[in-house]
Amino acid sequence: MVDEVKKRTDGRTDILITSDEHAPYETAIERAYAVETQQPDGSIQKVMPKDLCYATVCKTSKGGRVVDSVKTLVFGTLSILLMFLFRSTVSNTINTSLVERHNGTDRNQNAGKTRKTRCSSF
């Protein structure tokens, strides 16, 4: 999925990526975007582009309702994150609502993906 994002953005790194805290996302983003740089001692180190931001949202639910939401900046700087949020036309906060809405629509259109139902997908 991360490779597809990189492909569709022509490898640009001036982007904001958001997700839940699913651990493989961080590794996949690093694998796709990290650049190898040679250090003064001759060693090679992988470094993330400075203009790429990756932030996570961890939601805590109780009784079917979200009671807490913790947002964490994983890659990038706070100033670049704020710039991305300021220029956004859809949101001014770190969130995963667009992906969640897409997933909800997809589930509703495919009975096999619908939760807690007796529908059949065939």
pLDDT in tens, 19-66: 888 889 999 999 999 999 998 999 999 999 999 999 999 889 899 888
User: Percentage of the chain with pLDDT > 70?
Assistant: 84
- What is the three-class DSSP state of 57? strand
| CA dist., res. 113 & res. 92, Å (int) | 31
User: Percentage of the chain with pLDDT > 90?
Assistant: 47
User: 118 or 86: whose pLDDT is higher?
Assistant: 86
User: 116 or 67: whose pLDDT is higher?
Assistant: 67
Beta strands in the chain (DSSP E): 16-19, 35-38, 44-47, 53-62, 65-75
| CA dist., res. 111 & res. 118, Å (int) | 9
pLDDT at 77 over 90: yes
- Is the full-model pTM beyond 0.85? no
14: how many CB neighbours lie within 10 A of its CB? 13
Diameter over CA atoms, the chain: 63
pLDDT at 18 over 60: yes
